[in-house]
Amino acid sequence: MYSCQVTTTGIRPEEPAGDKPRLSKRTVTENALKLADADGLDALTIRKLAQHLGVTPMALYWHFRSKEDLLEGMSEQVWGEIDVNADPGAPWWAQLQGMLESLIGVLRAHPAAPQLLLEHEKRNEAALRANEVALDILRTAGFDPQHASMIARSALWTGITLVMSEPGFHPDLSAEERAEWQRRSQIQLSMLPVAKYPRLVECAGPMSACDDPDFHYQFGIRLFIDGVRAAAARQQGQDGTPEGPGPG
């Protein structure tokens, strides 16, 4: 769920005396996320963020040496919003499902988050913690390190994919523009030659729009968890779905 990161050291600029009160790192990343969610991640700049906060760009360089450094901080902010407090009394698969549901909730709350995690997946403390908890759930359930690692990585990609595959997903469009895009897409599919594409015409509505987003996410989560439980059953060599794949 993360990739290697090469870190650099450097001296931060002196904090400008006129930019008071001092901004916290969390305040900066929270406001950066707000701007990215509203205007898109690519539109975010240090200068635009400084204007939003009412400070000079140098005040932000006290916390982040560059935009790349800021993006890493925003990524950690997103990871930190995921609830990793799994209920130890719940079945292992329910604990995993709870983490996946929390991940998806965070990604849905921040339209810029999928791109942020895809392009800036580093070893920040919050990401390490989430990975550690997920792996512990799976290892305690009986999965070996290889299978536990595969499932943990797949959980992240499943969350991102579910958000980005919601019909009509376009974080850079307004609600009205998104509705119009969905309408046009549905018309285009419904007007295909019926003899050649009977199923696409039949499913033009749900293929183009998402009238029930909750169903989209609940189904996707169930599909993933059912698959993990089936993998546990296969590893144990049983036909049913036990509480875990057993030791070993």
Tell whether the model's pLDDT for residue 245 goes beyond 80: no
Tell whether the model's pLDDT for residue 118 goes beyond 80: yes
> How much is the pTM?
0.78
For 18-51, write each residue's pLDDT tens digit: 444 468 899 999 999 999 998 888 899 999 999 9
Is residue 193 in some structural domain?
yes
Comparing 7-21, 124-138, 198-212, the range with the smallest average pLDDT is: 7-21
Comparing 12-16, 18-22, 122-126, 201-205, the range with the smallest average pLDDT is: 12-16
**Do 38 and 159 share a domain, yes or no?**
no
Question: Per-residue pLDDT averaged across 220-232, rounded?
Answer: 96
Is residue 5 in some structural domain?
no
How would you class 139 by CB atoms within 10 Å of its CB: exposed for 0-12, middle for 13-18, buried for 19 or more? middle
Question: Per-residue pLDDT averaged across 45-69, rounded?
Answer: 91
**Distance between CA atoms of residues 27 and 19, nearest Å:** 14
Q: How many domains is the chain built from?
A: 3
Quote the tokens at residue 122. Answer: 């580093």
Q: What is the pLDDT of residue 171?
A: 65
Q: What is the pLDDT of residue 12?
A: 43
Higher pLDDT, 228 or 175: 228
Question: What CATH number does residue 99 fall under?
Answer: 1.10.357.10
Tell whether the model's pLDDT for residue 241 goes beyond 70: no
The overall average pLDDT reported for the chain is 84
29 lies in which domain range?
25-65
Q: What is the pLDDT of residue 243?
A: 46
**Do 117 and 191 share a domain, yes or no?**
no
Q: What is the pLDDT of residue 246?
A: 44
Question: Per-residue pLDDT averaged across 152-180, rounded?
Answer: 82
**Do 182 and 129 share a domain, yes or no?**
no
Is residue 112 in some structural domain?
yes
**Rg for the chain, CA atoms, rounded:** 22
Higher pLDDT, 179 or 89: 89
**Do 225 and 117 share a domain, yes or no?**
yes
Question: Per-residue pLDDT averaged across 204-217, rounded?
Answer: 84
**Do 138 and 199 share a domain, yes or no?**
no
Tell whether the model's pLDDT for residue 176 goes beyond 60: yes
**Distance between CA atoms of residues 144 and 223, nearest Å:** 22
Question: Per-residue pLDDT averaged across 87-93, rounded?
Answer: 94
CA distances from 126 to 41, 74, 82 (A): 20, 11, 9
**Distance between CA atoms of residues 67 and 90, nearest Å:** 41
Tell whether the model's pLDDT for residue 183 goes beyond 90: no
